[in-house]
Amino acid sequence: MRLLQVLLVIFINLFSTGTIFGFAALKPLLIRKGVYSWLCSRDDIDLTGSCNQQELRLNNIFVVSVALTNMVSLPAGSVLDRIGPTKTSIIGATIFGLGCLVFGSGYTKWPVVLDGYYIGFSLLAIAGPLIFLSSFHVSNAFPAKSGLILSLIMAAFNASSTHFVAFDWLDKRTSGVSVQAWFWCYALIPAFFIVLQSLTGPPIAYEKQTVPQEGQLVASATSAPTYGATSTDRTSPGENLPPKDSFVGAMVGRSLLEQLFSRHFGLLLLFFSVYTDRVNWEIQTISEQLVFYLGDLKMTLRTAGLFSILLPIGGIIGVPLFGWLLDHRNTFDASLVILIIGVVYGILGMTHLVVTQIASISLFVVLRPLLYVFVGDYCGKAFGYNTFGRVYGLATTLVGLLGLILGPVDSLVKGPLHGNYNLVNSAWLILGFVSSSLLCWSIHRGSRRELKGDELVE
């Protein structure tokens, strides 16, 4: 029975939790299907077969959904604590199935005006954390294999964004599969899960066989939208960690308010917001950016397709490697790696060569999971697990709210900047460098002052 429970959790994560992050593959398909095409006039249509108003409407679906999936994290953790993982996952699957049905219904004007694309995608975004955060407890069903099970859950999440790639592939190689047919059929997956989970789901969460850490379940929960939860399976600060990582425990023992008003939280929030927006900006506008930088529609389509394939692969391969990095190197080294990758991928992404664009994409798909794992690891090491859920949950919620800025930024590019991405990408590059540098400085300074026993709150 326990094996079935583990397989069922991996199954539903594989087909649901990271679905919205496959937007880069879904968006060209929706354009090809004529979604929001009524917003375009013949004179407005560009090389990709769309217009600015259509692009903005589609991109805003992603912006709103990402903000929702981040903001749902904190209340979803409370739901998990109150009703348990089985009921939480069933609620999430129900919302996901409803999202599929609504999205498949599309934009309707009768009997009332209803934008099913916006509402449906938002429901998929809300469902993701509910399902994902309720999954981690099953790793304790087989304590000797808990690390492997966690890795499989993370891999399943990263792979879940590929089903839009499959939709696109199937649509191109058949006479055409309608959006309604795909999403309505896809709703059978959460329905199947609900039935099996109702029959076989454990009545209570599996507990660790070792001494439990207060707040660890919430820590996993609040990592859902940003998927840094692999770090929550670590030991408490100071146990089995790199001996040279003097940053560990920098704010442990402080009150929650002291932690939230410390530079460690403030600079993390700045860094997290900038990099999350950079990541989502790339996913949201990759096709338009490639058109601008490459100027070749055929090459743009191929490169964008490669992006959609590499994005989940980067997460599947990268998560265990990054776990090793964080376990065997100190926090400062990990932050330095992010700084370097962030700068290099940003520079290469503004070039006009196919080779350098592919190199930029390759670095990006590595940076994305490293960022999320790093942030969860940073919070665990800096603030400890007694307040991890509240600290990480608040950071995630604020990052979701700040992510709404991508809508106006998109309008700026498609309006006053006339489709020129250089200014915005340069700004992201500078902000990324500054925020990363400040975080590296803070970690290095905190490590030195930790060695001296100085006050850390500023």
The answer to whether position 138 is within a domain reads yes
Residue 56 inside a domain? The answer is yes
Judge whether 458 lies within some domain. Answer: no
**Whole-number Å distance between alpha carbons of 267 and 259:** 12
Domain count, the chain: 1
- Cβ(376)–Cβ(232) below 8 Å: yes
Distance between CA atoms of residues 303 and 365, nearest Å: 14
Q: Does residue 120 fall inside a structural domain?
A: yes
* CB-based contact 232:240 (threshold 8 Å): no
Would residue 93 count as lying in a domain?
Answer: yes
∠ at Cα 363 (169, 230), nearest 5°? 85
| CATH code for the domain of 130 | 1.20.1250.20
Q: How far is CA 233 from CA 70, 238, 275, in A?
A: 21, 14, 24
- Cα 275 to Cα 268: distance, rounded to the nearest angstrom: 10
Which pLDDT value is given to residue 231?
A: 41
Q: What is the pLDDT of residue 217?
A: 37
Q: What are the structure tokens assigned to 52, written together?
A: 């600015």
Strand partners, 114: 108
How far is 125 from 403, CA to CA, in rounded Å? 14
| Strand stretches in 406-453, DSSP E | none
User: Is residue 345 included in any domain, yes or no?
Assistant: yes
52 falls within a domain: yes
Tell me the pLDDT tens digit for each residue of 174-192.
877 899 999 999 999 999 9
Q: How many CB atoms lie within 10 A of CB 178?
A: 12
CA–CA dist 377, 313 (Å, integer): 22
Does residue 379 lie within any of the structural domains?
yes
pLDDT of amino acid 243: 47
Give the DSSP H/E element, type plus range, for residue 355: helix 354-383
Q: Tell me: the pLDDT tens digits for 117-141? A: 999 999 999 999 999 888 888 888 8
How does DSSP classify residue 207?
A: P
User: What is the domain extent for residue 73?
Assistant: 2-452
For residue 264, list its beta bridge partners: none
Give me 190's structure tokens: 């959460």
Residues 6+ apart with CB under 8 A from 457: 251, 254, 258, 261, 262, 263
Query: Residue 219: its pLDDT value, please?
Result: 37
Q: Give me the pLDDT at residue 209, please.
A: 58
DSSP tag of 243: T
Burial letters 399-416, b for 16+ CB under 10 A, else e: bbebbeebbebbeebbee
| d(C-alpha 122, C-alpha 42), whole Å | 30
Tokens of 348: 């290469």
What radius of gyration do the chain's Cα atoms show? 22
**238/241 Cα distance (integer angstroms):** 6
Low-confidence ranges of the chain (pLDDT < 50): 210-243, 451, 453-458
